[in-house]
Structure 1
Amino acid sequence: MATLLRGEVRAILQPAGTAQYRGAYCPPGVPFREVRRGPFDGKSDIAVRTGIDGEVPKLMTFGRGQVVYEYDGRDQQGRAVYRYAPKLSTSHRKVMDGVAEVYAENALNKAKEGQ
């Protein structure tokens, strides 16, 4: 990553924590662990600009606001940690419905193989 500008802090995107995924949509047949996964998890070549008060933004959005990550403190390296926020992401329901289709297709294929 390039040198940080004045007022910027390195950031990393992580899967949702309990606070973010509790009560989020999870279709039948899909393990709840799938709800935690965000499309940009693990991305660490990001910098956020601090506000006048020195604080980082509480939310970070991608895809025209359809994918939301929520600030969750700092890690040991001083990076701002943002966790996927499925309840705030408008694309979450569509993505989870797609995941459900894949799980259903795999279950159907396994059932066919077992015959």
Structure 2
Amino acid sequence: MTTLLRGEVPAILQAAEHAQYQGAYRPAGIPLAEVRRGPYDGTRIAVRPDANGELPTVLTMANGRIVYERDRPQPDGTAVYRYSPRLSPAHEGLMRAVAEVYAEHALQRGQS
């Protein structure tokens, strides 16, 4: 007899909290808010529990380069996944790109 999977659970992707960003790469002069922010924050998705009814502990996107970790659910039962810079292989490259943008803006302000 085949085990039927339960229905999907609503989920939302959110910015990292201390547990996820602690020790993550942060270039000099870049605000912590930039480190915490993930590329898919605010996105609402559906997550399918496994056969035991458990939600996945991590979600990977962009061919495994972006990782979100499961956090406590919201009161309405929506699962919350938080961006994990520590586990995301793309994080350092993203932070370098952010640092370049900050440097360009600093140059433009200096020339005005």
Q: TM-score, normalised by structure 2?
A: 0.91
Residue aligned with 1:30, SS: coil
> How far is 1:21 from its partner?
0.6
- The correspondence of residues 33-112 of structure 1 with structure 2, limited to 5 A, is 33-44=33-44, 46-112=45-111
- Once residues 93 and 83 of structure 1 are traced to their aligned partners in structure 2, the CA distance between those partners, rounded to angstroms, is 17
Residues 40-87 of structure 1, C-alpha deviation per residue, up to 9 Å, x if partnerless? 00001x111112322100000100000000000201221110000001
- Once residues 73 and 58 of structure 1 are traced to their aligned partners in structure 2, the CA distance between those partners, rounded to angstroms, is 11
Give the residue type in structure 2 aligned to 1:84.
Y
Give the residue type in structure 1 aligned to 2:103.
A
Give the residue type in structure 1 aligned to 2:110.
A
Residue aligned with 2:12, SS: strand
Instruction: Name the residue aligned to 2:25.
Output: 25
> How far is 1:33 from its partner?
1.3
Give the residue type in structure 1 aligned to 2:24.
A
The total of aligned residue pairs comes to 108
| 1:29–1:104 CA contact under 8 A, matched in 2 | no
- Once residues 40 and 8 of structure 2 are traced to their aligned partners in structure 1, the CA distance between those partners, rounded to angstroms, is 20
Give the residue type in structure 1 aligned to 2:92.
R
What stretches of structure 1 of length at least 5 have no aligned partner? none
Structure 1 runs of 4+ with >2 Å offset: none
Instruction: Name the residue aligned to 2:10.
Output: 10
Q: TM-score, normalised by structure 1?
A: 0.89
| 1:73–1:80 CA contact under 8 A, matched in 2 | yes
Residue aligned with 1:74, SS: coil
Give the residue type in structure 2 aligned to 1:32.
L
- Identity fraction in percent: 56
Q: Kindly report the root-mean-square deviation, in angstroms, between the aligned alpha carbons of the 2 structures.
A: 1.2
> How far is 1:99 from its partner?
0.2
| 2:70–2:80 CA contact under 8 A, matched in 1 | yes
Give the residue type in structure 1 aligned to 2:70.
Y
